[in-house]
Amino acid sequence: MYYSKVEICGVNTAKLPTLTDKEKIELLQKAQTGDEMARERLISGNLRLVLSVIQRFSARGENPDDLFQVGCVGLIKSIDNFNTELDVKFSTYAVPMIIGEIRRYLRDNNAIRVSRSVRDLAYRALSARDILSKKMAKEPSVEEITKQIIDEGFDCTAEDVAAALEAIIEPVSLFDPVYNDGSSGETLYVMDQVKDAENTDESWLENIAINEAMKKLGERERSIIDKRYYKGKTQMEIADEMGISQAQVSRLEKGALSRIRKQL
């Protein structure tokens, strides 16, 4: 277990600080206004979260220092993109981000045990993704990756690319623990992050209410909510796509969320 390793990447894990939920929200609000000191405190105060997440990958034999550094990248992305106005705990948002960053690292740096044709396409897709990410300063879509591969002279479809990338993702159990809050004893499992949103009466009724509320939004507001909360895009990405400023996206998003809450 990584907790038995006292020092990771020069960090003494025995002396890592902790933050209360209230402190996290206050620091997140300050950090998102450009307060670098608050941002550093947030990173330092959530390193235990990164340490807890990387323990689930201990059986792979990976260097814990490498995984810790990659997990910290996911933590920083979470801090920069977390919406403090939503009624969501920071750890609930951050855990999938950290896991995603680690899984991407493992996928890009380990042998792929799939058919050769799928493996070759996956390598091409990963290479195209890196090229586009640098060029576009954002995560490219499957369609954009496919176009890049075709421009390089390789014939494929978006469905082929999506299947190839999916094939090299290692499956996990829904019962895998991904985080344990030592102070309260609460354990977060994969199933807590991937819930069945279609087969419960409560979710079904909630979805109807949200869809009805969404219909009453303007086209631009509806598009922003769709991109932010259904497609996982950042405000900066949406601003680039819509040709408006990030501040305008933020204002429209807040207004749309306020109207949805009133409808609900």
Q: Digits of tens for pLDDT over the chain (264 positions)?
A: 444 455 566 666 667 778 888 888 889 889 888 889 988 998 888 888 888 888 877 766 677 888 888 888 989 988 888 888 877 788 888 888 888 888 888 776 655 455 678 878 888 888 888 888 878 777 788 999 999 999 988 889 998 898 888 776 655 555 455 555 555 555 565 555 555 544 444 454 456 667 777 778 888 888 888 888 777 888 888 888 888 888 888 888 888 888 877 766
Contact 68, 54 (CB under 8 A): yes
| Distance from C-alpha of 54 to C-alpha of 105, rounded to nearest angstrom | 12
Dist CA 91 CA 241 (whole Å): 29
Q: Which two tokens stand for residue 144?
A: 């954009």
Q: What gap in Å lies between CA 29 and CA 102, rounded to an integer? A: 26
**Which residues have a Cβ under 8 Å from the Cβ of 40 and sit 6 or more positions away?**
none
Residue 112: what pLDDT?
A: 45
> What secondary structure does DSSP assign to the chain, as a single string?
-GGG-SEETTEEGGG-----HHHHHHHHHHHTTT-HHHHHHHHHHTHHHHHHHHGGGGGGT--HHHHHHHHHHHHHHHHHH--TTSS--HHHHHHHHHHHHHHHHHHHHS---S-HHHHHHHHHHHHHHHHHHHHHSSPPPHHHHHHHHHHTT----HHHHHHHHHHTSPP--TT-EEEEETTTTEEEEHHHHS--SSS-HHHHHHHHHHHHHHHTS-HHHHHHHHHHHTS---HHHHHHHHTS-HHHHHHHHHHHHHHHHHH-
Amino acid symbol at 132: L
* pLDDT on residue 101: 86
pLDDT of 187 reads: 58
Residues whose CB falls within 8 Å of the CB of residue 230, separated by 6 or more in sequence, listed in order: none
d(CA 74, CA 252): 27
State the Cα–Cα distance between residues 129 and 136, nearest whole angstrom.
10
* Contact criterion met (CB below 8 Å) for 125 and 165: yes
Q: Tokens for 75?
A: 């933590």
Sign of CA dihedral 66, 70, 76, 79: negative
pLDDT at residue 1, as a whole number: 44
Angle 219-229/235-242 helices, nearest 10 degrees?
Answer: 140
pTM: 0.42
